[in-house]
Each structure stands twice: as C-alpha cells, then as structure tokens.
Amino acid sequence: MIYIVVRKTTDWDNEATFRTQIPEDIQPVVELWNATFDMPYHLFRRELKRIAQLNLSRIPGAVCVLREEVPEYAVVVPADDDDWFSPRLAQVLGANIDGQHVGYYWPSEFIEVPISLAHRLGLIRRAIFPRTLPKWLCTTNNYAVVMRPETVALIGSHIQASGWFVAHADAVKRLGERLSVMNRSLASRTSLRSKPSWSALVRKYHRYQKLYHRALSPELSWCEPYVAMMSDLMTQLRLRT
C-alpha cells in the first residue's frame, strides 16, 4: 500500500474559516479575485480540491491519510490538495521499492501559465536544452519517502526534501515515468504570489482559459479527464460586469 499525505487541508467550504487559515499576504489577492470574478476564491479552490480528490480515488493500491496515520517504514507520497497522480503511481512505486532506498523521485510535470518573465525564459531554456537541471530536485508532488525518523520532515517541505535527496544521493532512486502533475491553476499561491493588478489578473485569466484546451503528451493522457474538468471550471469562472 502507498500512502498519500496531503500536507495542509484548508476548509474551502466556509469562507470565514478559510480566511483564518490562509497567509496574510494572500488576503489582498482574495479581495482582488472576489472583486474580479463572480465565483468567490474559496469556492474555486473547493472545486480544485474536489477534482484532486476524485483523482486520488482512482489510484489502485494507494490511500489518502493523515500523516499520523502512516505506519513506520511505509512509503509516503506528499501532496497538496490540488495535485494529480497517475493511476500507475502505486504500481510503479511498488515495483521499485527495494529496501535499499529511502527516497524515490520522478520527473516533474506542470500544467501552468508562466508566473513571470524569468519563469517563461526558464521554460524556454529547458525546452531547448532538456538536460537543464531543475531548481529543485523534489517539487510539490514528484517524490516519495519511506517513513523513518529522518524523513518525516521531508513530507512537509519539498525544499527540505530536495536538499536531503541531493545530500543522500546513494539512498534515493530516480524513476523515469511521470507519475504526477502539478496543476498550477489561476488560484494557486504561486500564480498569485505578488498581487497582480486587475488588468494583469484578467490577462492571466484569459491565458488559463486557453491552457486547458492544449493537447497533452501521450504520457500524460491519464490527465485528460481532469484537464477537461478544469476547462469546465474556467468556463464557469466569469468576469464581473
């Protein structure tokens, strides 16, 4: 059995509660979002979570649990509440668990609109030079660890996990198959890290409407149902008049 642990769960159903759970720097962005779109921010995020939960329910051999429910020495895949995984996740991990490695990772895959010019240039560079190393070895959801005292902290931070994986290269194993996708949506914290102007938010909104109509590579065909749901969600998200 593979255990998936969602790092932080936010109550997106209740606006008053979710506002107490999000960082202060996101509050102004939420106000801008709610003034721009007819679907409140927390309800949009609730739909992202619902799509991700549907995805998690379709992974044979994997179960989503709280971190304290994971048995010692079990294999844990950390995730955020909007991440997607291949239905082959548990099958591929199970075939590679060998008792010698403590960490496992696979190539990162993102569905996203570039968050900045520097990010856009970085993506172009990686497209031209595929061997360009990513900034982080472990991103949000492209790694797994065996639950041991020294790996517990790695579940909560991909940055800390990246440092540990690099420092303990002999204890980690790279897998070739893309087993997850980070759906960096319009509402993700990274997309809205610096509060955009109204016009910048609207421009990004139109880019995201087009994003979910792009063809996927054959290796990511398992994402098609969730991309279609995101396309429907972006259709439901309308500008205020």
218 φ, ψ to 5°? -55, -35
Q: Grade residue 138 by pLDDT with cuts at 50, 70 and 90.
A: very high
Q: What is the pTM of this model?
A: 0.90
Say what the pLDDT of residue 127 is: 60
Q: Which amino acid is at 185?
A: S
Nearest to residue 98, comparing CAs of 170, 180, 178?
170
Distance CA 172, CA 164 (A): 10
Please state the rounded mean pLDDT for residues 25-50: 94
The answer, yes or no, to whether residue 121 has pLDDT greater than 80, is no
Contacts of 165 (CB under 8 A, 6+ apart): 103, 105, 137, 138, 143, 172
Please state the rounded mean pLDDT for residues 85-98: 97
Distance CA 127, CA 121 (A): 10
Say what the pLDDT of residue 13 is: 93
Mean predicted lDDT score pLDDT of the chain:
91
Say what the pLDDT of residue 190 is: 81
Residue-wise DSSP of the chain: -EEEEES----TT-HHHHHHHS-GGGHHHHHHHHHHBSS-HHHHHHHHHHHHHHHHTT-TTEEEE-GGGSPTT-EEEEE-TT-EE-TTHHHHHHHH--SS-SEEE----EE---SSHHHHHHHHHHHHSTTPPPS-SS-SSSEEEE--TTTHHHHH-HHHHHHHHHHTGGGEEE--S--EEEE--TTSTTTTSS---HHHHHHHHHHHHHHTTSPPPGGGGGGHHHHHHHHHHHHH--B--
Token reading at 182? 């980070």
Please state the rounded mean pLDDT for residues 27-49: 95
The answer, yes or no, to whether residue 180 has pLDDT greater than 60, is yes
Say what the pLDDT of residue 240 is: 94
Contacts of 239 (CB under 8 A, 6+ apart): 36, 37, 38, 202, 205
| Lowest mean per-residue pLDDT among 126-140, 153-167, 180-194, 212-226 | 126-140
Say what the pLDDT of residue 241 is: 82
The answer, yes or no, to whether residue 158 has pLDDT greater than 90, is yes
Distance CA 104, CA 234 (A): 34
Please state the rounded mean pLDDT for residues 83-105: 97
Percent of the chain residues past pLDDT 70, beyond the cut: 91
The answer, yes or no, to whether residue 128 has pLDDT greater than 70, is no
Residue boundaries of the structural domains of the chain:
2-236
Nearest to residue 66, comparing CAs of 18, 7, 10, 142?
7
The answer, yes or no, to whether residue 26 has pLDDT greater than 90, is no
The answer, yes or no, to whether residue 224 has pLDDT greater than 90, is yes
Nearest to residue 80, comparing CAs of 148, 4, 179, 175?
4
The CB-based long-range contact list for 217-220 (8 Å cut-off, 24+ gap) reads 219/177, 219/178, 220/109, 220/178, 220/181
- Measured CA distances, 183 to 64, 140, 193, 194 (Å): 18, 10, 16, 19
Say what the pLDDT of residue 194 is: 66
Percent of the chain residues past pLDDT 90, beyond the cut: 75
The answer, yes or no, to whether residue 114 has pLDDT greater than 90, is no
